[in-house]
């Protein structure tokens, strides 16, 4: 899969990964896809909740030896 934006937020603690992801998503066009990498274990709950509340689509997530990956598709404006 190709991504429109790759965001490395490893080493940052809550709430910075979500705040920086939100800011990055604002720069994307509707339907574009962002790949985020995070080491904060809280992200496992934070990113799915963030997507549910904001309407962005969490396409995929996985853990790769303590680095958490999230693939998020920006929602289409209504």
State the catalytic residues.
Answer: 14
The CB density around residue 14, as the number of other CB atoms within 10 Å, is: 14
Name the residue among 22, 16, 21 with its Cα closest to residue 6: 21
Per the omega criterion (within 30 degrees of 0), is the bond before 38 cis? no
């Amino acid at each position: 899969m190709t991504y429109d934006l790759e965001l490395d937020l490893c080493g940052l603690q809550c709430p910075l990964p979500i705040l920086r992801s939100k800011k990055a998503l604002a720069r994307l066009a509707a339907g574009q896809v962002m790949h985020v990498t995070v080491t904060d274990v809280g992200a496992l709950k934070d990113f799915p909740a963030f997507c549910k509340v904001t309407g962005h689509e969490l396409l995929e997530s996985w853990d790769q030896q303590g680095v958490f990956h999230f693939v998020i598709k920006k929602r289409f404006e209504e």
